[in-house]
A and B are shown apart, each in its own frame.
Chain A
Amino acid sequence: MSGIDACLLEAIRVPGARGASVVDWTSGLPLGTIGDSPDGDHEATAAETAEFARLAAEHKAFAPSGGTDREDGELPVHDLILTNSDSYHLMRFVRTTFDSSVFLHLWLDRTEGNLALARIRLGEMAERLVIE
């Protein structure tokens, strides 16, 4: 099993998961998807979540106090959490040693999902995706 597929399978097993994807936030390209997406179109969802992720990654307001120009490759933002009346959206930036702009997106059912647990799991998945 490949890395992206293994990562997505793990994501969809998170309690309450409706769908998940691996997305490039510069282009809006979905590199892999699983399950459902909010409007039934993973590519459209990827383009929209990529725009959201890009703004978060680029705007000074969301950067740590030391600024965004970090020598150690640390990402300016770790993850994004968005809630609505029936679901959660979690986006976790993936840190790579090569030049990239990738994040994981997990869409969770609000009644069945556990936001804290899902956030921890997604962080672990983002690390394993590029290490294991």
Chain B
Amino acid sequence: MTAAVPLTTGGRTADDRTADTGVWPMLRRLAAERASGALTRDHGVLYLHDGLVTHAESSATPGLDVLLTTGGTVRPEGWWEAVDKAGPAQRVGRFLIDSGQLSAGALELCHLGALYDAAYFTLASHDGPTRFRHGVAHWIGPVRPVPVTAVERETRRRRRLLDRIWRRSATDTQPVRRAGSCDGLTLPPRRRAVLDRVDGERTAADISLALGRPGFHTVVELRRLAAAGLVTATAPTVSPAPLPESGTGTGRGTGTVTETETGTRTATVLPPVHSPDQDIALLHRLKEALEAL
């Protein structure tokens, strides 16, 4: 940690831009110090209070507002009333319960799922800078705080779980399209709902938003659909050698999935292509990173 500029939110600022793989040691240290504040990374924010994780948000998974209002558990006007009235005091969760809009159990189930999902997407990647701002709290307020160690174990376990289902991670983040016919197949309703929204443009995050579903659930279903040969990630801007897409799917249900199937990750199957788009994307990322300093 280094000293940093004072923040208008008060308190100290601590940065850790040196260790792109060091987010866990940093989090463990913050937990040991019983720190309170917000840990920001490329894909999300983790909120700590007294060293416990109280909330997390990520662009890869819908927020509580979407999760609770999509199915009508909470009316949108009821949600905004709670944010307006209890947001400044950081007690929105409590307000939702006290105003009879949902039970403590329902809020906890939904919030914990959202917390672990957002934490996964925020922490699973080793990329990008990590910052911690002391003294920042989220307006949802305390619901059911969890230890950093539990979040760490769960994040690691989830990555193993996904790899066991299907080792290719492209469907986690890239737009997805159908890869084979599902005629005659009976899919479980929750998986069918995901497949119905696969249109070649939506990503897992888009589908989660459309369904009002926790992001990790969609990622799991897409990996299962990919393993069954029904879905594949659309080619990125620079396409590697095309993957086989016969009616039998791409390695459906076999145990022979190897890194060579990851295409973009494997140098041997990549043509030596270098496009201006890549350079521009890299420059954009560099610019964003420099601005974030």
Contacts and interface: CB of A to CB of B under 8 A. Distances in A.
Nearest to B186: A60
Given A22-B109, A47-B157, A69 B189 contact: yes
A130 B188 contact: no
Interface stretch (B18-26, B63-71, B171-179, B249-257): B63-71
B144 A2 contact: yes
B240 to A, nearest CB: 30
A60 B191 CA distance: 13
A32 B109 CA distance: 9
Contact of A130 (B67, B109, B153, B154): B109
Interface residues of B, number: 37
Given A27-B158, A29-B154, A130 B106 contact: yes
A3 B108 contact: yes
Given A28-B157, A43-B157, A132-B105, A98 B212 contact: yes
A98 B212 CA distance: 8
B144 A4 contact: yes
Contact of B70 (A47, A58, A99): A99
Contacts of B182: none
Q: Interface SS of chain B: helix, strand, loop or mixed?
A: helix
B147 to A, nearest CB: 12
B216 to A, nearest CB: 6
Interface stretch (B42-50, B110-118, B281-289): B110-118
A131 interface: yes
Given A4-B108, A4-B109, A31-B109, A99 B71 contact: yes
B217 A130 contact: no
Interface of B: 67-68, 70-73, 103-110, 112-113, 116, 144, 153-154, 157-158, 161, 186, 188-192, 211-214, 216-217, 220-221
9 contacts: A6-B104, A26-B220, A27-B161, A31-B112, A58-B191, A98-B67, A98-B71, A99-B217, A102-B109
Enumerate the 6 nearest inter-chain pairs by beta-carbon distance, A residue then B residue, closest first: A3-B105, A3-B104, A58-B188, A129-B105, A99-B213, A97-B73
